[in-house]
Amino acid sequence: MEAVRSLLIRYLSALIEKSLPDRCSSLNIVPSNPGVMNKFFVSVLCFTLLNLSAHAQETWDLERCIREALDKNLTIDQIELNKQGYDISGKQLRRERIPSLNMSSDFGFTVGRVVNPATNDFETENSLYQSIGIGTGLTLYNGGRINKSVKQNDIYVAAAEKDIQQAREDLSLNVALSYLNILFAYKNADIAENRVKLTKDQLQNLDRMIQAGTKPENDRYDILSQLATDEQALITAQNSIENNLLVLKQLMYMEASYPLVIDKPTLSVDTAQAIEETPFETVYATALSNQPQIHAAELRQQASELSIGIAQSQRIPSLNLGGNLGTNWSNLQRCPTDIL
């Protein structure tokens, strides 16, 4: 990277020094100090390249990779939207406990034979009318359907929260595995590169021995075959690095061309307890208590059991309390004195 950047700086510097006088002469412009201008352009170019290089060499540790993947994962966003749907359903169910209030109004014009709203007699005059009504209702008892539905929805909300936790843990685990696979791929590439170097050293030593007459020339083909095998293993290890980097980029929703450079920490497993030393019952009990998907399944089982009670409540008669109040007006209304 340093060699390429230096070569690019020198090339562009020479290009600027060559093209600037020609362009100025073609425009009949004489620069006051060409050297200062050239240095200015070169300085700006170097600063830009250094910034790009610093951005390209930015390292990503495991925590940052996990945080980036969690922020951009669409599956987690979908599960969170499902939870928001359950929250909205819970609000709607709780509002069923509140008495309802309805208000209506009607206004119209009639032509021909109509009923006088004041005398209930038929009239043949054209008239205007308006009616206003208000009503309220309250469910006193419906077999506990509302309470059971609210409780069921709360359980679904809790299960959705466990689903979100499980999705976050699964994604974090996948990112960690991809990160470790990259570290192992780098280590395998280093080992393969050392083998190639060692085989080349053996080939040089063999060439000296062949020149000295102590070894036959046929032995050289064996070393060349081993060198080809080691170089193939090196290429395979390098491809493994690229493939694992691509998997990690996909988990973080990055572009394939992004120059991802991961941090290579020093791992120590001396203080880690071997899983083989832990009893099976302990491992199983720990998994049951810590796995969110187990808790989510148990919660959904409870919610399904409540569905039985909700269905049975439809057999029970419901008790509702309601009232309505209304009035109407018409221009055909007459006072009793007018009638006399």
218 against 272, higher pLDDT: 218
The DSSP H or E segment spanning 97 is none
- Report pLDDT for 247: 94
Mean pLDDT of 15-30: 49
Interval 164-190: pLDDT, tens: 999 999 999 999 999 999 999 999 999
Does the pLDDT at position 27 exceed 50? no
- Report pLDDT for 90: 93
Nearest-angstrom CA–CA distance, 52 and 260: 13
Full strand arrangement of the beta sheet holding 100-110: 100-110, 127-141, 319-330
Interval 130-161: pLDDT, tens: 889 999 998 888 888 999 999 999 999 999 99
Nearest-angstrom CA–CA distance, 142 and 139: 7
Nearest-angstrom CA–CA distance, 229 and 196: 9
User: How much of the chain, in percent, has pLDDT values that exceed 90?
Assistant: 43
Does the pLDDT at position 23 exceed 70? no
Question: Which sign, positive or negative, has the C-alpha torsion 159, 160, 161, 164?
Answer: positive
Nearest-angstrom CA–CA distance, 76 and 171: 9
Q: In terms of Cα–Cα distance, which of 62, 332, 46, 34 is closest to 182?
A: 62
Mean pLDDT of 310-331: 87
Residue 113's SS3 state is coil
Interval 207-246: pLDDT, tens: 888 888 887 888 888 889 999 999 999 999 999 999 999 9
Task: Tell me phi and psi for residue 177, to 5 degrees.
Answer: -65, -45
Interval 67-94: pLDDT, tens: 999 999 999 999 999 999 999 999 999 9
Rounded mean pLDDT of the chain?
A: 81
Q: In terms of Cα–Cα distance, which of 136, 135, 132 is closest to 117?
A: 132
- Report pLDDT for 267: 64
- Report pLDDT for 339: 43
Q: How far is CA 193 from the centre of its chain?
A: 38
Where do the structural domains in the chain lie, given as residue ranges?
Answer: 2-57, 67-330
CATH 3.80.10.10 assigned to domain 67-330? The reply is: no
Residues in Cβ contact with 251 at an 8 Å cutoff, skipping those fewer than 6 apart: 65, 69, 171, 174, 175, 178
Strands 100-110 and 122-123, by their bridges, are unpaired
